[in-house]
Amino acid sequence: MKWVFTYLKPLRARIALGTCIKIIGTLAELMIPFLLSYILENVINSNDVTKILFFGAIMVLCALVACLGNIIANRMAAKTTMTFSTHMRRDLFSKTLHLSARNTDKFTIPSLEARITSDTYNVQNFIGMMQRMGIRAPILLLGGTFITMMMDSKLALVMIATLPLIFAVVYSISRKGVPLYSKVQQSVDGMVRVVREDAQGIRVIKALSKVDYENARYDQANLTLRRNETRAGVIMGVVNPIMTLLMNGGIVAVIAVSAYFVANGTSSATTVIAFMQYFTLISMAMMSLSRMFVMYTKCSASASRISLVMESVSELEMREDDGLGDPNLHVSFENVSFSYLGKKNNLKNISFSLKRGETLGIIGATGSGKSTILRLLMRFYDADEGRIRIGGRDVRAFTPQELSAMFGVVLQNDFLYADTIAENIRFERDISKEDIIWATQVAQAHDFITSFSEGFEHDVSAGGTNLSGGQRQRVLISRAIAGRPEILILDDSSSALDYKTDANLRRALSEALPESTVITVAQRVSSVKNCDLILVIEDGEIIGCGKHEDLMRNCSEYKEISDSQMGGAFLE
């Protein structure tokens, strides 16, 4: 919870002013029962109308001050809370975007989504409640207790006797609440994961008639969430009824004792009336404190989940270059091995090198490690063994900004967002309209884009669902080459293109980007056969390396793939 104060510190002046206004309003509210008791006992019997009106006006003034004070303070609290939550969400979202790939894998995307939404909402609610009730409730509780002690200490002690029991109940139950609400938030993660997966794959789900199956899967996640919420709600829901029981018991005790005192002439009816009003205020304060304890358990669980993200440290630290690289080589892997989980190597002793402007093709079965090579080159992860260099310099010696500026990338599961085609290609970069047009011409996308009535201003739906698979891929390739990158990575980016378009694309790329090093991952031999170097990957190892003609002679696996695709078949 300590990190919360870093966001509240800049708002301390506004919080202090709101607190002062809240205190004034609450103290004015506390004076009303005392003034009523004084009027009933000392003013009415005097038959002095002026005096009655004077004290009545003071009561009205106190009521107005209490009302306005609470309204103003609550409005200030709302603004403070919104500012706090805006900054917190902004920084959490920014931190999420800057997480290393390994940390993202650890937290998972659905869990990060839940932390940015429901967890921040729980923290926001508690901060708002603290400003509204966290000041008023203690003042009413302590102030009401102090005034009643001044009025009649014996009756006050009867009332105070119930307070330790209430605190004990609230404290003991609240301690159980934090782990329970942690489980609730984990269940929210699971439900968000199902919703996210189904939203992304809705067309496949319908095409394969798996709507009922996905409904059942969602129901299971929903039932798990319900069970955890029910358990937490049942346990935390005990607080209010027990508090009400204890407070009502205290009221009964006060009435019984006060009746005895009034009958014996040691107390007055006006004092009892004031006591009942103060007891009501104290009861409201205790109820507010109990709600705060319940909200605190949610906030504490959520704040812990948020702090794990905010305090996470990237394992991708910059290192000094050893100066042993060959500057004539644009991209080189030197005996690189890597494991995602630290158990079995996903890549083993990968070595190859490319000069500037050369092309590399990587082919292999699904799960063989093709995309992992690209992730290591772009330093989404660090290799466990060996070195990866760009221009002879260790990739770990580049800043993230330097490294990302070198690449143009089309990944397997790349995305388009809801905006125009032009903005999807520009992607918030400083790229001119001329460069966008040039990129679409190279990517073989210009003709279909201009066939739309709006042209480049044609709106793309989220995920590009209003475009065909081949159109989406060509827009993505346009985005990748629009910045004229040093290294162009195409990860299975032409699988939806026909052979003729694919051939035209590869020819146009070689002519348009002669100085760029192009790395193509594909499952079609036709997409890589003209590359300067082809790697055949199997189980994370290179089992074939060379040009197309060499591999056809020396690599039986590559020859088998090539032969199986004669006539345009795909390797699945």
Report pLDDT digits (tens) over 425-440. Answer: 998 888 999 999 999 9
The mean-pLDDT minimum among 176-180, 414-418, 437-441, 518-522 falls in 176-180
Condensed to tens digits (0 to 9), the pLDDT of residues 276-315 reads 777 778 777 877 777 787 788 788 888 888 999 998 888 8
Residue that wins the pLDDT comparison between 398 and 110: 398
516 vs 485: CA distance, rounded Å: 7
User: What is the pLDDT at residue 569?
Assistant: 42
Condensed to tens digits (0 to 9), the pLDDT of residues 522-567 reads 888 888 888 999 999 999 999 999 999 999 989 988 888 888 875 4
Residue 561 CB coordination number (10 Å):
20
| Structural domains for the chain | 2-310 (1.20.1560.10)
Of 326, 322, 321, 374, which Cα lies nearest the Cα of 347? Answer: 374
Beta carbons of 488 and 481 less than 8 angstroms apart: yes
Residue 6 CB coordination number (10 Å):
12
User: What is the pLDDT at residue 458?
Assistant: 92
Beta carbons of 261 and 267 less than 8 angstroms apart: yes
Length of the chain as a residue count: 572
Alpha-carbon separation of residue 129 from 63, 81, 290 (angstroms): 22, 9, 12
Condensed to tens digits (0 to 9), the pLDDT of residues 145-176 reads 888 787 777 777 877 777 777 777 777 776 77
Condensed to tens digits (0 to 9), the pLDDT of residues 189-221 reads 888 888 877 876 776 777 777 788 888 888 888
Residue that wins the pLDDT comparison between 479 and 523: 479
User: What is the pLDDT at residue 178?
Assistant: 67
Q: 15: phi > 0 → left, psi -120 to 50 → alpha, else beta; which?
A: alpha
Residues 6+ apart with CB under 8 A from 488: 407, 408, 409, 480, 481, 509, 513, 516, 517, 518, 519
How sure is the predictor about 570, in pLDDT bands with cuts at 50, 70 and 90? very low
User: Average pLDDT of the chain?
Assistant: 85
User: What is the pLDDT at residue 196?
Assistant: 75
Nearest 5°: CA angle at 546, between 545 and 548?
Answer: 120
Residue that wins the pLDDT comparison between 87 and 168: 87
Residues 6+ apart with CB under 8 A from 448: 471, 474
Beta partners for residue 92, in sequence order: none
Q: What letters, b where the CB count within 10 A reaches 16 and e where it falls short, cover 91-111?
A: bbeebbeebbbebbeebeebb
- The token pair at 391 is 């221009």
Determine what percent of the chain is predicted with pLDDT higher than 70.
97
The mean pLDDT of 26-43, rounded to a whole number, is 83
